[in-house]
Structure 1
Amino acid sequence: MSKPYNVVADLISLLDIYWDDPVAFAEDMLGFDPDDWQREAMADVAAYPRVSIRSGQGVGKTAFEAALVIWFLCCRPNPKVICTAPTRQQLHDVLWAEIAKWLESSMVKNLLKWTKTKIYMIGHEERWFATARTATKPENMQGFHEDYMLFIVDEASGVADPIMEAILGTLSGDENKLLMCGNPTRTSGVFYDSHNRDRSRFRTHKVDSRNSKRTSKENIQMLIDKYGAESDVVRVRVYGEFPKAEADAFIALELAELAAGATAEPTGDTLHLGVDVARFGDDETVIAPRIGMKVFPLRCYNKQDTMVTAGWCVKTAKDFLRECPSLQQVRIKVDDTGVGGGVVDRLNEIIQEEGLTNWEVIPVNNGARPSRDGEEHYDNLGTECWAMLRNLLQENFSGHLQGGPNEIELPNDERLITQLTQRKYRMTSRGKIALERKEDMKKRGLDSPDRADAVVLAFAEVKKSFIFLDAGTASRGL
């Protein structure tokens, strides 16, 4: 590429080869060697409209962003790339300077012209460019329209919601993309929501500084020694975790994500099915199968009547019995509140009609009184069941940072993780913990936690009003 460029021919070649492959572009054109997380995230930016990355410090996110800016400018016709950050220093002195560094040593430097506020395709300055706009007011983010558009928000946790809402409102085209990166410093805002209540709408990544070859392990240890392994400083700057959960968040995001990334062997001779029956038109009926400490992929249905739901429960159980000869028992726990009672009745009829020995149907009324041991602490049975799952997750993963075992495996299901971690609780006037009602969650604009409730039921056991969680071969009571 030392000879003069034929701009049209070179652009056609770049578009053809690297349209869906920013990793290869970064390697071939920029001499950039991406880490594993950078490869995965680059591929997601090419394939999906919204990507959100929370990370510790020093993992290479600025170089990652710079490579994507140059890739998008070279591999899309008439694109617009808008880069923003909360401060001018972060935007111009860090990100914009990083783009200049990689562009200057690249194989495409003769195609693009870099200035202090703009990078443009030579000969196409008005329509084919990247620009730097400080995130200080919403109007800075408005007025951009193009078929191919990429917004990059650096240090996204510090960008105010009105500005993020202006960006989201601008991204209306099929090939409009949003990339948010940053340290997870706040437990509110669009960036936080992208990893929590809205995570089903984003491709999300978490990058721990301890796992990066680019970081100083000596500096990381200094932070841990100075502030403590579980301090918010270390959580944010090293682990890439948000500060500790707000007081009214019932299950921490970290616990749910650890379980979703764990591997557990199915043990024991009992199949547990947790069944949450939809009560409203947009809600889901969910069946959560569990063997030992492993929860298998959830089976979710919409707008099914109680007879059909009962049939799906029976089919799910028979499928597992056929595939796992070691299973001897089936325990089906059904949310008996509302229409779930019809499912319980029909399941009992089927068990009797077909002579299904060692099958048991257990109705669970979440609004009922908690167990004898739990009535001092919890307002109702549903809260107690959620508390037991939360406590078991905490126990199993308390040693994770020191290499402890991952004992519980949950499906890597974005909606499940969201539902488990967005439900709040309150303290009643009697000093008892009460889980947030589904109706109140809907008022906050959230989905009903159907998937989470089914998983909680899959772990819950009810025997003569005694509630406990089954931990593989051992059972524990509260």
Structure 2
Amino acid sequence: MSVELDAVWDVLHAPRKRLKNWKRPNYNEIFRQRSDRLDTIRAAGQDGWELAFEYYKTHPVEAIEDWVTTYDPRKTSDGEAPYMPFTMFDKQREFVEWIIERYHNKEEGLLEKSRDGGASWVCLSIAWWMWTFHSGTVVLFGSRKEDLVDELGNPDSLFEKLRIIIRMLPDELLPIGYDERKHDNHMRLSNPENGSSIVGEAGNQVGRGGRSSIAFVDEAAFLEKPEKVDSALSENTNTRIWISTPNLPGDWFSKRRFGGRILVFTLSWQEDPRKGPKWYAGKKASLEPEVLAREVDLDYEGTGSNIICPASWVRSSVQLRKFLEKEGLIPEPHAGVAGLDVGGGGTGLSVLVPKWGAVMGHSIEWDDDDTINIAGAAEEAARKLKCDMILYDSVGVGKGVLAAFRRMDFVTKGINVGNKPTRKRWPDGKNSRKKFTNLKGELWWTMRSLLQATHQHWMFISTDGKNGELHKLEDMILLPDDHKLKSQLSQPLYIRLETGKMQVEAKKKLKSRGVDSPDHAEAAILALAPPPRRGGSDRTTGLV
């Protein structure tokens, strides 16, 4: 390899410059690095560009951050340039990798996003990367109205953003033979060199224009007939990505989001380093409460939705944990307990979730219908995770692990969630037997209470004490960034019976609205069960 190609290899693999201050960004160093990279590749001639193209083909994040430029006309009011190198924050880079994983696995995905989080720019940048570096791809963008997809001169439309990306590229990154007058048409962008294209469709016609490699549907919660769009896309693409802020509780988008059958990614304002308490206070002052809840806080609840564990509380728990981990305030795992939801194989997975005090760990799942294998795998995982006890569901399929556990030198406890609640007293003065129909309801409400306190605590910290309130660690729960666990915790609803008692939505009811059994969430709930009575009949320990 020549000296010039060695230099190209070096600049492609060099660490990218990062913003030091996201709220007052200075892009000079990033533009300087871009310029140096371009000069280095050009100095190596055609061989340099071939090496660069080969590199970028498998490095989408680097391709985007090296060459994509975004546009925000609001910057001019502050005397700043409206064009900026697309320097993604951590969650945006994670989202790029998540999208590529869905594409390679031919999976459906859903993005719930706060307002103004850069989601459109990320998706469009991925489309540009595929269009440029992968031959024969077709990327579809759909939305509820045509002018949201493409309106010439309107930088808020998706295709006008694409035009900005392409116009700001070096000539060497444009396809050979590309002529904007020929290859940039209304809702269609063609690559004459490799045959790739980016196409747009709108309204009820989304998905009806032909086959695509991947389809992004923006503002999916606001589609007039989402079922028809879904049906059309399912026939014409392997990967559908639904993108939206929440709209109405119980609508098609919210059912998909909480249905448990689709992978969910969240871009919330709390994980955007450009935003903070001051930004949130401004939005709170300028937006109607229901708009703030939907478009900023990603609150699906609205009125009457009765979600036990609101998604916003779950997100706060994850964010507080990340904050405490960064500060070095999370204790090392020890003396934990593990909840085990026993499945029967196939769609009924067995899931173990560890917990050490207020800290909950990532879930582990097995697809196995042999209860002896399940018990052995659970014990091995619990020991590795420094858990001293397994709390497992002892009814239905869970009965099968009892005999296996009795032969193990490990403490376990069978939990029958259909039993009566405990006599725990709650802040309203009632005990659990007055509030819940069974132990399942009590355990779910315990999780709700822990998450509510955690949400209040995080709001206090993240808004410099302007919102929320502080709580003791033992009154909170710190969740991992576990996509399945996060999603499933917000799936079940509750109902109030005539007696005033709370009842958790039955699995048959969940299934009737398209929600699979929330195995990961139920394992987490079991980890909250009361400890075994010494010598109690529901306790198995030691070798027998």
| Same-fold call, TM cutoff 0.5 | yes
Q: Does 1:75 align with 2:130?
A: no
Q: 1:292 aligns with which of 341, 357, 363?
A: 357
Match of 2:25 in 1: none
Equivalents in 2 of 1:25, 1:312: separation in Å?
42
Match of 2:158 among 87, 95, 106: 95
> CA 1:428/1:222 → structure 2, altered by over 3 Å: closer, same or farther?
same
Question: In structure 2, what is the Cα distance between the partners aligned to 1:209 and 1:91?
Answer: 28
Distance 1:391 1:414 in 2: 21
Counterpart-to-counterpart distance in 2, 1:112 and 1:141: 27
Give the alignment of 1:300-315 within 5 angstroms: 300-315=365-380
- Residue 9 and residue 51 in structure 1: after superposition, are their counterparts in 2 closer, same or farther (change >3 A)? farther
Residues 425 and 279 (structure 1), Cα distance of their counterparts in 2 relative to 1, 3 Å cut? farther
**For this pair of structures, how many residues does the alignment match?**
433
Aligned CA distance change for structure 1 residues 40 and 308 (closer, same or farther; 3 Å): closer
Are positions 1:23 and 2:61 aligned together?
A: yes
- Correspondence 1:197-208 to 2 at 5 A: 197-198=259-260, 201-202=262-263, 204-208=265-269
Structure 2 counterpart of 1:252, which letter?
P
Q: Structure 2 counterpart of 1:168, which letter? A: S
Equivalent position amino acid for 2:486 in 1: I
Q: Which of 283, 296, 308 pairs up with 1:223?
A: 283
3-state secondary structure, aligned to 2:527 = helix
Change (3 A) 1:350 1:166: same
Q: CA deviation at 1:99?
A: 1.9
Q: 1:97 to 1:449 in 2, by over 3 A?
A: closer
Matched, 1:366 2:407: no
Q: What SS does the aligned partner of 2:434 have?
A: coil
Question: Given the two structures, how large is their TM-score scaled by the length of structure 2?
Answer: 0.68
- Retained in 2: the 8 A contact 1:20–1:47? no
Query: Aligned-pair distance for 1:243?
Result: 5.0
For 1:328-407, list aligned pairs within 5 A. Answer: 330-344=388-402, 347=405, 349-350=406-407, 359=411, 361-372=412-423, 373-403=431-461, 407=476
| Residues 12-411 of structure 1: pairs in structure 2 closer than 5 A | 16-31=54-69, 32-36=85-89, 37-49=91-103, 50-92=108-150, 93=154, 94-107=157-170, 108=173, 111-113=178-180, 114-122=184-192, 128-134=196-202, 136-138=203-205, 140-145=206-211, 149-159=213-223, 160-161=225-226, 162-172=228-238, 177-188=239-250, 191-193=253-255, 195-198=257-260, 201-202=262-263, 204-208=265-269, 211-213=272-274, 220-226=280-286, 231-242=289-300, 244=302, 247-261=305-319, 262=321, 263=325, 265-266=330-331, 270-278=335-343, 282-319=347-384, 330-344=388-402, 347=405, 349-350=406-407, 359=411, 361-372=412-423, 373-403=431-461, 407-411=476-480
C-alpha distance in structure 2 between counterparts of 1:318 and 1:79, whole Å: 47
- How much has 1:391 moved relative to structure 2? 0.9
Kindly state the Cα deviation for residue 103 of structure 1 after the two structures are TM-superposed.
2.1
Give the unaligned 5+ runs of structure 1.
Answer: 3-7, 466-478
In the alignment, residue 272 of structure 1 is paired with which amino acid? V
* 8 A Cα contact 2:264 2:483, kept in partner: no
Higher share of residues assigned strand: 1
Structure 1 position 167, deviation (Å): 1.9
Q: 2:123 & 2:399 partners in 1: Cα distance?
A: 53
RMSD of aligned alpha carbons: 3.7
Separation of aligned partners in 2, 1:55 and 1:236? 10
Q: Secondary structure at the match of 1:81?
A: strand
SS of alignment partner, residue 434 of structure 1: strand
Cα 1:142/1:240, change in 2 over 3 Å: same
**AA paired with 2:447?**
L
Instruction: Mark the CA change 1:76 to 1:319 in structure 2 (over 3 Å): closer, same or farther.
Output: closer
Aligned CA distance change for structure 1 residues 166 and 363 (closer, same or farther; 3 Å): same
Structure 1 residues 303 and 227, CA gap change in structure 2 (3 angstroms): same
Q: 1:105 to 1:204 in 2, by over 3 A?
A: same
Judged with a 3 Å threshold, the aligned counterparts in structure 2 of structure 1 residues 98 and 265 are, in CA distance, closer, same or farther, namely closer
Deviations 1:257-309 (A, max 9, x none): 33345257457974323232335764223333322122233343333444444
Q: In 2, distance between residues paired with 1:319 and 1:64?
A: 38
CA contact (8 A) 2:307 2:491 kept: yes
1:430 aligns with one of 482, 499, 515: 499
Identity value in percent: 18
Give SS of 1:48's match. helix
Aligned to 1:471: none
CA contact (8 A) 2:309 2:447 kept: no
Change in CA separation of 1:289 and 1:80 when aligned onto 2, cut-off 3 Å: closer
Show the counterpart of 1:5.
none
Tell me the TM-score normalized by structure 1: 0.77
Query: In the TM superposition, what whole-angstrom CA distance separates every residue of 1:315-345 from its partner, at most 9, and x where no partner exists?
Result: 445445xxx5xx8xx4443322234345345
Judge conservation of contact 1:273–1:290 (CA < 8 Å) in 2. yes
Q: Deviations over 1:227-277 (max 9, x none)?
A: 58xx33223333445454852322112223333452574579743232323
Are the counterparts in 1 of residues 344 and 368 from structure 2 also a CA contact under 8 Å?
Answer: no
- Unpaired segments ≥5 residues, structure 2: 1-37, 40-45, 70-84, 424-430, 462-469, 535-544
Q: Indicate how the Cα distance of structure 1 residues 236 and 209 shifts in structure 2: closer, same or farther if over 3 A, else same.
A: farther
**Contact 2:374–2:401 (CA<8 Å) still a contact in 1?**
yes
CA distance in structure 1 between the aligned counterparts of 2:356 and 2:124, rounded to whole angstroms? 46
From the superposition, tell whether residues 291 and 165 of structure 1 become closer, same or farther in structure 2 (CA, over 3 Å). Answer: same
Preserved CA contact (<8 Å) 1:232 1:243:
no
What is the alpha-carbon distance in structure 1 between the residues aligned to residue 119 and residue 512 of structure 2?
A: 37
Q: Name the aligned partner's letter for residue 145 of structure 2.
A: T
